[in-house]
Chains A and B, each alone.
Chain A
Amino acid sequence: MMKIIVCIKQVPGTNEVKTDPETNTIIRENVPAIINPFDTYAIEEAVRIKERTGAFIYGISMGIPSAEDMLKEAVSLGIDKGILMTDRKFAGADTLATAYTLSKGIERIGEFDLIICGRQATDGDTAQVGPSLARTLNIAYATDISKIIEIKDNEIHCLKITDDGYEEILIKLPALITVVKEINMPRLPSIKSMKAARKSKIEIVEFDGIKADEKRTGLKGSPTQVRKVFVPLHEVNTTLIEGTLEEKAGKLSEILLNLRMEVE
C-alpha cells in the first residue's frame, strides 16, 4: 500500500493587519488559526489517491502545541495519522530550518512513496519549504502540480502549471510535489468524521524524539534573519475627476489620450 505524507501548516485565518497611523505600530487582533488553504488541496489529493488505489496518509506539521486541533481537523478531512512536531527548540525557524526539522520527522516515519505540500503558506508565501524539504531528503520533486494523471509503481505522471502554460511530466518515486488550487475541490468533513477526528490521537514529537542537530533547527538553524518589519507607505496625490457622467468621461478620455501619446 502506498504511503503518503502531507505537510500541513497552521496559519492565521486572515492577513489583515491593522496599524495605528500615529505610532506606526501593528494592532493585531486575535485571529483564529486555520489550515493553510493550499494544504487543504494537498490533503484532498492524498485522500483521492487513497480512494483510488488505497494508501495510508500521514499528516505532519511543525508548529505550536495548539496546532494539535488543526491536525485533528485534518483527520476529519481524511488523514489517517497526525503528527505534530513541537518544541521551543523548533521556534523561529526559517524555511531551511523548517525543511530540516520536517525531514527529521519524516525519517522517523520511515519509508514513503509521496509527499504532498501546498504550493505556499499564506503567512509567508515563500513556496520554499517543499523544494527545500525534497532536497534535504534527497528525493525528486516538482512544484505547482495541477493534475495527477496517473500513478504507476515507481513514477507519477502529472501536469505542472508554469508561467508559460503547462508541462506534462513524469516524476520518479519517492517524490515530493507541491499542489495548486486547480488540482481539486476539497470536500467538507462529514459530521461523523468530525466526531471521530475529535477522538483521534495526534502524535506529539519533541526535539528529543528526533535525531537532529540542534544547530540546524529553530532560530539557530536559520540563516535568514528578519531585521525590521514596517508598514508600507502608499502616498499619492489623487486628482478627482468630477462633473456629470458625460463630463467625467470626456475629461478621462483626454487624460488617457494624452498619456497614451507619452507611452508611444
Chain B
Amino acid sequence: MAGINIIKDKCVGCKACMGACPFGAIEIVGKKAVITEKCTLCGACAESCKFDAIDFKRDERESSDLSQYKGIWVFAEQRYGKLKTVSSELLGKTRELSSLLKTQVTSVLFGHNIEFLAHELIAHGADEVLVMDEEWLNDFNDYIYGEAMTALISEYKPEIVLVGATSKGRSLAPYISSSLKTGLTADCTGLSIDEGGLLVQTRPAFGGNLMAEIICPNNRPQMATVRPKVFKPLEPDYKRRGKITRIHKKPIEGFVKLLKNIDNSEGQSLSDAEIIVSVGRGIGSAGNIRLAKELADVLGGALASSRPLVDMGWMPYSRQVGQTGKTVAPKIYIACGISGAIQHLAGLADIDTIIAINQDPDAPIFKVANYGIVADVKEILPVLIEKIKGRL
C-alpha cells in the first residue's frame, strides 16, 4: 500500500525534510519529524533524508506490456489551413527525442481540405503524417477530435504523445489522456529522455517559484502539453521525405456546436514579434502607455504588459505576458517599469536580450536583465525615442 512513514529510530530531527517539502507538511515534534495531513505524497522529503529515515512507497502499479508502445506523436494544430507554430516547434524538439529513443516521429493532422499541410509537417521533422481530411473534422471540437485521437492512439500505440498548450490543446489533451487512463503533464517547459528511456517532463510549479520534473512510468502513452515558444522549430527542409497515410473513419457527432468565430484583430501578435516593449505599473498612468507604444513603433516591435495593467483595464488581456498570460520569445524584450515578479518572468521564454528600465535598483527584474537602467521610465522614454529617431 502506498504511504509514507518516518522511521523514528533513524530520524535525528535535522529538519532537512522540512526544507525539502514543497507543501510545508512536515513538523518537528520532540526532535522527530512528523508528517501532517497537508502531505500530498510527492516523495520530495524521502530523497532529502540523509539518514534513510523516511520510508516512502509508491505502489508499483501493474503495468500492461509497455514495450509494445513505440514512436513519438505530435498533434498538429491548424486553423483555416494554417499550422500553429507550436506544432513545428514540437516537431523540432521531437527530432532530438526520437534520436535518443531510436524511434520515429509521427504527426497527426485533422481538418478539412488540409492535406497539403502534411508536406509542411514533414519539412519540419515528421517522418510520417497521419491525415484525417474530412468535412466533419472542419471545426475543432474537443469531443470529436478527442474521440478520433483516442481511437488512433489505441490502434497505433505511440509511447509519447505531445500537444501544444494552446487554448485548444489544453482543452483537448485531458480528454484524450482520461479516455486512455494515462498521465498528462500540463504546460511543460522542458522535455528530455532519462537513462531508462522515460520522458522527463519539466514544468513550473507554485506559480513558477519552483520547477518540477514529472514522469509517467507505468502508463502509456506518456502525454504532455507544451507551451508555445518554448522550443525552436527547425529550419524547414522541403526536400525531406516522409510517409503520408490517409485515414478514413465513420463520422463522429459532437455535443458542442460552434456558431461563430469572433477573431481578435489588434496588430502584430506577441508570439511573432522580434522586439517587444512591455509596460508595468511603473508607467504610472494609462495615458503614459503611449510612450511605450511609440518606442515599440520606432523599433518596429509590439507592445505588451504585466498583469496589473490588464486588471486595471489599461491593456487588453491578449497583451499580457506571464504565467497567466502569454509566453513570448522575442530577440529583444524591453521591460519598462516592471518589477520582475516570478509570475511575469514565467512568460519570458528564450530571449536573447532583456533590457530593464526601473527606478528601483533592487527590483528583481535586474537579476534577469542583460542591460539595466535605473531611471524614471516616464522621463527616459521621450529622450530615448528622440535619440533613436535622430539616428534612423
Query: CB distance B275 to A229 under 8 Å?
Result: no
Query: CB distance A27 to B178 under 8 Å?
Result: no
Query: CB distance B370 to A238 under 8 Å?
Result: yes
CB distance from A121 to the nearest CB of B (A): 11
Does B260 count as interface, using CB distance less than 8 angstroms?
A: yes
Could you say which of A182, A223, A227, A234 contacts B368, with CB atoms under 8 Å apart? Answer: A234
Could you say which of B187, B352, B370, B373 contacts A248, with CB atoms under 8 Å apart? Answer: B373
Residues of B338-373 contacting chain A, CB below 8 A: 342-343, 345, 352-355, 366-373
Does B211 count as interface, using CB distance less than 8 angstroms?
A: yes
Query: CB distance B21 to A95 under 8 Å?
Result: no
Could you say which of B2, B42, B184, B259 contacts A96, with CB atoms under 8 Å apart? Answer: B184
Query: CB distance A164 to B264 under 8 Å?
Result: yes
Does A188 count as interface, using CB distance less than 8 angstroms?
A: no
Q: List 30 A-B contacts (CB under 8 A).
A: A15-B207, A15-B208, A25-B19, A25-B48, A28-B21, A30-B24, A31-B24, A92-B2, A96-B183, A134-B175, A142-B142, A144-B167, A164-B79, A164-B264, A167-B262, A169-B259, A220-B2, A220-B59, A223-B183, A224-B215, A224-B216, A225-B58, A225-B214, A227-B214, A232-B208, A238-B367, A241-B371, A250-B387, A253-B388, A257-B391
What chain B residues lie within 8 Å of A224 (beta carbons)?
Answer: 183-185, 214-216
With the chains together, A264 CA to B29 CA distance in Å?
62
Could you say which of B24, B178, B260 contacts A132, with CB atoms under 8 Å apart? Answer: B178
Does B136 count as interface, using CB distance less than 8 angstroms?
A: no
Closest 3 CB pairs of A and B: A25-B19, A92-B41, A223-B183
With the chains together, A140 CA to B144 CA distance in Å?
11
With the chains together, A255 CA to B168 CA distance in Å?
39
With the chains together, A259 CA to B301 CA distance in Å?
13
What chain B residues lie within 8 Å of A190 (beta carbons)?
Answer: none
Given A252-B371, A263-B331, A263-B332, are A226 and B44 also a contact pair (CB < 8 Å)? yes
A interface: dominant SS = mixed
Residues of B170-212 contacting chain A, CB below 8 A: 170-175, 177-179, 181-187, 200, 204-212
With the chains together, A37 CA to B187 CA distance in Å?
20
Does A151 count as interface, using CB distance less than 8 angstroms?
A: no
What chain B residues lie within 8 Å of A126 (beta carbons)?
Answer: 186-187
Does B383 count as interface, using CB distance less than 8 angstroms?
A: yes
CB distance from A22 to the nearest CB of B (A): 11
Give the most central of B143, B207, B379, B391: most A CB within 10 Å.
Answer: B207
With the chains together, A232 CA to B372 CA distance in Å?
21
What chain B residues lie within 8 Å of A21 (beta carbons)?
Answer: none
Given contact pairs A126-B187, A167-B261, A238-B369, enumerate 7 new A-B contacts (beta carbons under 8 Å).
Answer: A26-B21, A95-B186, A128-B184, A224-B215, A227-B200, A249-B384, A263-B332
CB distance from B305 to the nearest CB of A (A): 16
Does B375 count as interface, using CB distance less than 8 angstroms?
A: yes
| Chain A, Cβ-Cβ closest to B342 | A15
Query: CB distance A96 to B177 under 8 Å?
Result: yes
With the chains together, A211 CA to B177 CA distance in Å?
23
Does A6 count as interface, using CB distance less than 8 angstroms?
A: no
* Chain A 116-159 interface 0/1 with B at a Cβ cutoff of 8 Å (1 = within): 00000011111111111011100111111000000000000100
With the chains together, A250 CA to B79 CA distance in Å?
44
Given A15-B209, A140-B143, A144-B171, are A245 and B19 also a contact pair (CB < 8 Å)? no
CB distance from A171 to the nearest CB of B (A): 5
Counting chain A residues whose Cβ lies within 8 A of the other chain, the interface size class is 35 or more
CB distance from A140 to the nearest CB of B (A): 3
Could you say which of A16, A136, A215, A257 contacts B178, with CB atoms under 8 Å apart? Answer: A136
Does B299 count as interface, using CB distance less than 8 angstroms?
A: yes
Residues of A155-213 contacting chain B, CB below 8 A: 157, 161-172, 175, 182
Given A142-B142, A219-B58, A224-B216, are A26 and B207 also a contact pair (CB < 8 Å)? no
Does B16 count as interface, using CB distance less than 8 angstroms?
A: yes
Query: CB distance A162 to B178 under 8 Å?
Result: no
B interface: dominant SS = mixed
Question: Which B residues contact A (CB, under 8 angstroms)?
Answer: 2, 16, 19-24, 37-44, 47-48, 58-59, 61, 79, 142-143, 146, 166-168, 170-175, 177-179, 181-187, 200, 204-219, 254-264, 274-275, 299-300, 317, 323, 331-332, 334, 342-343, 345, 352-355, 366-375, 379-380, 383-384, 387-388, 391-392
Could you say which of A135, A163, A238, A262 contacts B167, with CB atoms under 8 Å apart? Answer: A163
With the chains together, A201 CA to B154 CA distance in Å?
45
With the chains together, A256 CA to B276 CA distance in Å?
12
Query: CB distance B205 to A141 under 8 Å?
Result: no
Query: CB distance A131 to B171 under 8 Å?
Result: yes
CB distance from B307 to the nearest CB of A (A): 11
Query: CB distance A263 to B274 under 8 Å?
Result: yes
Given A26-B22, A27-B19, A172-B256, are A231 and B367 also a contact pair (CB < 8 Å)? no
| Chain B, Cβ-Cβ closest to A174 | B255
With the chains together, A241 CA to B168 CA distance in Å?
43
